Amino acid sequence: MHDDLRSAQQGNTQIDTGVLIGSFLAPLSNILPSSREEINSIRGADTPLLVDIGAGRGHDLIGLRKRFPNAQGKLVLEDLPAVIEEVQGAQDLTAAGIDTVSYDFFNQVQPVRGARVYYFKNVLHDSSDEKAAIIFNNLKPAMKPGFSMKPGFSKIIAEEYILPDQNARSLPCMTDMAVMVFCSGLERTQLRWTDLMTSVGLRVVKFWVHEGDGLGIVEAELPEGI
């Protein structure tokens, strides 16, 4: 077992970024380094650790809580009011201690402030760059900046396809066409992701790409001192 994962499962609240990301995406775990910027030592049960935006029924949050049962900090499921009404009080969410919050990311400023991670899974490809910019601009006021790479700043972690500039595989290309037709969205290349983040005053920290199928993670944050 990964030393950082074993430590977290035994009660150490310092969770490595790579381990956290790997806890969501098992197929990507083998490409994540064994040591990354620490997610932070979250002190106090009321401090938000991770907010899953557009989380549906919260399967990823439940999985995270099972992997790190002793990690301090709130796990928060956010979705539209109709979804929250459906899942509120669900036994599996209650047992995992997951909070539920109604949130419309196009029309509301992010209500959960100062979380260590704001997580999107297959959400942003449904939106054009213009609409994605609205999502990020509504999120930014809730984020904490970093200073000299010290712990305490917020991360955006987006799980999406990250397309190569050319010779993309057929599945992400078909998905790109589908989201364009049905949502006016798109799958993005690294350059497109970087341009999008930069346009709203965010900085891409790293792309975590699973070579072969194009699945990956975009890690971003506020620039230092903002």
Give the active site residues: 125
Strand partners, 50: 75, 117
Q: Of 110, 101, 118, 116, which Cα lies nearest the Cα of 142?
A: 110
Q: Of 28, 121, 16, which Cα lies nearest the Cα of 78?
A: 121
> What is residue 36's predicted lDDT score, i.e. its pLDDT?
36
Kindly give the confidence (pLDDT) of every residue in the chain, 226 residues in length, as a single tens digit, with 9 standing for 90 and above: 334 434 444 444 444 555 555 545 443 333 333 333 444 445 566 788 889 999 888 888 888 887 777 777 889 999 999 999 888 877 788 888 889 999 999 999 999 999 988 999 988 887 889 999 999 999 999 998 866 555 447 889 898 888 766 666 665 666 655 655 555 567 788 888 999 999 999 999 888 877 666 778 898 999 875 5
Structural contact between residues 16 and 36, judged by C-beta atoms closer than 8 angstroms: yes
Domains and CATH numbers, the chain: 3-221 (3.40.50.150)
- Within 10 angstroms of residue 44's Cβ, the number of other Cβ atoms is 8
